[in-house]
Structure 1
Amino acid sequence: MNTQKIHISLLFVSLGILFACSPSPNKERTQSGLLRKDFQTIVHGDSTDLFILRNTQGMEACITNYGARLVSLIVPDKNGKATDVVLGFNRIADYLAQPSSFGATMGRVTNRIGYGKFVLDNDTIMIDKNNGEHAIHGGSAGWRGQVFAADQPNDSTLQLSYQSPDGESGFPGNVQAQVTYTLTHDGALAIHYHATTDKKTVINLTNHSFFNLSGNPEQSALNDILYVNGDTYTPLDSNLIPTGEIASVAHTPFDFRQPLVIQTGMDRDPKHQQLQFVGGLDHNWVLNTKGDTSILAASLREPNNGITLSVYTNEPGIQVYTSNSLDGSQLGKGGKALKQFSAVCLETQHYPDAPNKPDWPSTILAPGSTYQSTCIYRFTIE
């Protein structure tokens, strides 16, 4: 064998060793301990997968196209410790076994629509009632249970799209929607929504991530410090449907105009009827930001590890939910029980039941118009 053949043979041997030693992308664990192969299956005839975004600050976002949902989000704390700040599950099978909102894109209309109906151009639209006598989060065929088409153009961006057919859950119009996640190099996870329709309809999208900034779902998030840039909120009736009133937060458990421990705020009046209705916070605040994404809408800070989440949006409202309905029966990532008050959701949105409240900011989308919404979750250390 001549020298050239020996060199070629050694090259192929070296490449073989390299490929044998290199982990398969499907077997490589993310910082949060997830395996991509555990999210690869077929749902409704479409393929699901796990997509990984990274930035230069050591952050990592893991997103599945099932429900266009955020599965994990790694943020370094004040000591540089990689901390997964959202609740979720280790595999797609867990999401399929018990439908949930963890990290999902909620559509076609997030939150509740009273009695599963609304009037549009003098026609009464009947939609799927999946919450007793009411509709919530788009009905039983809501987008949290749909598979989105995925395109990842680079390491920090994921584009997800979904064609919602006319009549889905009773909503009119074929809606083409896109959800774009971007992990920016200044420490933010930006979510941009874009939608068009061929028939007048209603739309109101949000992300339903459950944030536990400590990284430990067994630690109550009621010890976190909350700020909401809103002077008013929308009270609920006993069916958890907004009454239509815009009420002042002053002298109530809903006044977080100055940063305050959540539990302390609720303790102002623990027997307040609104708290009793939902067992904690699960209300929409009317933001003072007037759609300006440069103005802080809300923030949440974990007092021990220093992680602070700041929220910016062009939406008129934000739902603050203290995970009141979690009961520890579900085991999340790492086998840890997901308990009551173990997380806080900060859902940027139009107000709940807006299709039935003509005086409120409208959720109507007409042909020729474009729905656009932005939510920016920015992380810093204090």
Structure 2
Amino acid sequence: MKNIKFNILNLGLACCLLSACGVKNGSNVSTISGLSEAAFDTTINQKAVKLYTLNNKNGMEVCITNFGGRIVSLVVPDKNGKQTDVVLGYDNIAQYADSVNSPSDFGAAIGRYANRINKGKLQIAGKNIQLPTNNYGHCLHGGPSGWQYQVYDAKQPNDSTLELTMLSKDGDNNFPGNVTATVSYVLRSNNSLDITYTATTDKETVINMTNHSYFNLNGDPTKDIENCILYINADNYTPSDSTYMTTGEIAKVDNTPMDFRKPTAIGKDVNNFKFDQIKNANGFDHNWCLNTYKDGKGDDTKVAASLYSPLTGIMLEVYTNEPGIQVYTGNFLNGKINGKKGIAYNKRAACCLETQKYPDTPNKKGWPTANLKPGEKYYSHCIFKFSIK
């Protein structure tokens, strides 16, 4: 999900930029993907920021910064055994931290509320709450200083696990409740990245977390993802209006470009602007209602969605206990942002697969709830499993 309009820079990033720019092109390269750990070693808001590396015996590597809990690189072998980075991002902390000149959600652990809340309005425990609005009059991804622009506390107990903790105070972007949230990244021996989100609160609130990685399974961001084959295990989706807000309808995918129940090339209909939903979003930027979620429970043993590149042979399967998945096809990437290795990210350079509650769930009666009360525990699970087809 993109086209974000940030209007404040209140995270003390000036210090970050000064400390990071000196190592932006540092020679301390220690990762398979070519990242320099020194380029991520800094302090933001008096909290240490670093680059953490996970690896397994198969040559898979995942690099994550605790700034925003972002996956910076994700390396998997392609059909020829070549180690291939399949996510977009930056190769230095300065760009990640600069929400004015290089705004992005690349790889972030989003919170408190992934996706949009209509006009930023909530009613919780009988109280009306006004959240900040930062996208077409709506609150997107927790507001202009959502968790993607905050620092998680990090612990790395072993070379395949990273545990991140966010202590979000009552009133953070006007959300109620002191919230303790955790994100656990575990790299498995079967080439899956297992992500678990948990949260508790001392006051009723809403929680909806996700990972916002931009996948390019071609392994080359100069090649768009229209050739990639997408499968979504969903009979229905939630239409949205011209401001990207869900209308409240749950619509059938039958006989529409939204039907990915059979693996289909993204390019088949992503530019079919005769279909209003695609025209409104400039491509795909929609939530699908997963068939793997029934009777208030999600089955994270069944494939919710998959993405495949015929070019590299890399297959990504997504598993989740969540009711929905937002698929975004890089519609607003425009070549003005240069990512890793200085590559300009153009339109359709990536596809996002965001497991989550439906957008604006708190304001849609009957949709799976995002409310969290004291004494309850929020739990969300997502697996990105990689293989060669």
TM-score strictly above 0.5: yes
Q: 1:329 aligns with which of 331, 336, 339?
A: 336
Amino acid at match of 1:41: T
Q: Aligned partners of 2:270, 2:176: CA distance in 1, in Å?
A: 40
**Residue 100 of structure 1 corresponds to which residue in structure 2?**
104
3-state SS in 2 of match to 1:191: strand
CA shift for structure 1 position 186 = 0.5
Q: 1:288 aligns with which of 272, 291, 294?
A: 291
Amino acid at match of 2:165: S
**Residue 316 of structure 1 corresponds to which residue in structure 2?**
323
Amino acid at match of 1:76: P
CA shift for structure 1 position 29 = 2.3
Determine whether 1:76 maps to 2:62.
no
Q: Retained in 1: the 8 A contact 2:233–2:305?
A: yes
The percentage of counterpart residues that share the same residue type is 53
Deviates more, 1:148-157 or 1:126-135: 126-135
**Residue 62 of structure 1 corresponds to which residue in structure 2?**
63
Alignment of 1:339-378 (within 5 A): 339-378=346-385
Amino acid at match of 1:245: E
Q: Aligned partners of 2:264, 2:29: CA distance in 1, in Å?
A: 41
Q: Retained in 2: the 8 A contact 1:256–1:265?
A: no
CA shift for structure 1 position 217 = 0.6
CA shift for structure 1 position 121 = 2.3
**Residue 9 of structure 1 corresponds to which residue in structure 2?**
none
Amino acid at match of 2:36: L
- CA deviations on 1:51-87 (whole Å, 9 max, x unpaired) are 0000111100000000001000000001000100000
Q: Aligned partners of 1:238, 1:88: CA distance in 2, in Å?
A: 28
Q: Aligned partners of 1:248, 1:271: CA distance in 2, in Å?
A: 18
CA shift for structure 1 position 27 = 2.2
**Residue 186 of structure 1 corresponds to which residue in structure 2?**
190
CA shift for structure 1 position 237 = 1.4
CA shift for structure 1 position 94 = 1.2
Q: Aligned partners of 1:28, 1:223: CA distance in 2, in Å?
A: 32
Q: Aligned partners of 2:302, 2:136: CA distance in 1, in Å?
A: 37
CA shift for structure 1 position 264 = 1.2
Q: Retained in 2: the 8 A contact 1:323–1:343?
A: yes
- CA deviations on 1:171-195 (whole Å, 9 max, x unpaired) are 0000000000001000101110010
**Residue 142 of structure 1 corresponds to which residue in structure 2?**
146
Q: Aligned partners of 2:120, 2:38: CA distance in 1, in Å?
A: 38
Q: Retained in 2: the 8 A contact 1:255–1:265?
A: no
Q: Retained in 1: the 8 A contact 2:112–2:142?
A: yes
- CA deviations on 1:186-210 (whole Å, 9 max, x unpaired) are 0101110010000000000000000
Residues 133 and 270 of structure 1: CA distance in aligned 2, closer, same or farther (over 3 Å): closer
CA RMSD of aligned residues (A): 1.2
**Residue 43 of structure 1 corresponds to which residue in structure 2?**
44
- CA deviations on 1:244-268 (whole Å, 9 max, x unpaired) are 000001111110000010111436x
CA shift for structure 1 position 278 = 1.1
Q: 1:273 aligns with which of 251, 263, 276?
A: 276
Give the TM-score of the pair, scaled to structure 2.
0.90
Q: Retained in 2: the 8 A contact 1:254–1:266?
A: no
Q: Retained in 1: the 8 A contact 2:219–2:312?
A: no
Q: Retained in 1: the 8 A contact 2:175–2:205?
A: yes
CA shift for structure 1 position 116 = 0.7
3-state SS in 2 of match to 1:266: coil
Q: Aligned partners of 2:338, 2:349: CA distance in 1, in Å?
A: 12
3-state SS in 1 of match to 2:195: strand
Q: 1:302 aligns with which of 301, 309, 316?
A: 309
Q: Aligned partners of 1:88, 1:266: CA distance in 2, in Å?
A: 23
Greater Cα radius of gyration, structure 1 or 2:
1
Deviates more, 1:98-107 or 1:198-207: 98-107
Amino acid at match of 1:365: L
Q: Aligned partners of 1:32, 1:129: CA distance in 2, in Å?
A: 36
Determine whether 1:158 maps to 2:167.
no
**Residue 88 of structure 1 corresponds to which residue in structure 2?**
89
Alignment of 1:211-230 (within 5 A): 211-230=215-234
Q: Retained in 1: the 8 A contact 2:114–2:209?
A: yes
Q: Aligned partners of 1:189, 1:124: CA distance in 2, in Å?
A: 38
**Residue 172 of structure 1 corresponds to which residue in structure 2?**
176
3-state SS in 2 of match to 1:277: helix
Alignment of 1:118-137 (within 5 A): 118-137=122-141
Q: Aligned partners of 1:155, 1:96: CA distance in 2, in Å?
A: 26
Q: Retained in 2: the 8 A contact 1:52–1:62?
A: yes
Amino acid at match of 2:343: K
- CA deviations on 1:238-297 (whole Å, 9 max, x unpaired) are 221100000001111110000010111436x53111111110000000000020111100
3-state SS in 2 of match to 1:139: coil
Ranges in structure 1 where 5+ consecutive residues have no aligned partner:
1-25
Amino acid at match of 2:301: S
